[in-house]
Amino acid sequence: MILSLWSIIALTFFNSCEDKVYIFEKKYELSNQAWTYADSLKFSVEIADTSAIYNLYLDLEHQTNYKKQNLYTRIHTKFPQGQRLKEQLSLELADKTGKWNGNCSGEWCVLRIPLQTEAFFNQAGSYQFTIEQFMRDNSIKGIKSVALAIEDTKKRR
């Protein structure tokens, strides 16, 4: 009887949790935990459903002794029909008091940054996102990995 009750509770709990569906996830591990100008991170994504609503996230893993509060990046987007868009983005790794954003454990922090929520793609086809560090120094030490994730919100426009 107890085993059955625990099984029912576990099934109810797991069925009530909404699973996130990612149509794309790719992670780059950076050599020597440093991000240089030469490290342009390229992500190619095939989009078929132009009615779907997505959330785009950038995941960044950095050391707790990273010397700055933020990290400037430049994101290049190439659309299926060839149009290009370039945008500068400051990634806020810590708040104004110096407390790290994200989840920190030991000497590493992992931060999920929403790039765009409730987004949609107007064109079906191949999208290319290129992310580069855009700081004053060529080599930014203390950056271990950068990842892009695109979540299908299961909503439609």
User: What would the DSSP string read from start to end of 76-123?
Assistant: EEE-TTS-EEEEEEEEE-B-TTSPBPSEEETTEEEEEEEEEEEE--SS
Q: Determine the Cα–Cα distance for residues 37 and 75; give it in Å rounded to an integer.
A: 13
What architecture is the 22-156 domain classified under in CATH? Sandwich (2.60)
Residue spans per domain, the chain:
22-156
Rounded to two decimals, the pTM is: 0.86
**What was the pLDDT predicted at 18?**
60
Tell me the three state secondary structure of residue 3: helix
Express each pLDDT in 44-91 by its tens digit. Answer: 999 999 999 999 999 999 999 999 999 999 999 999 999 999 999 999
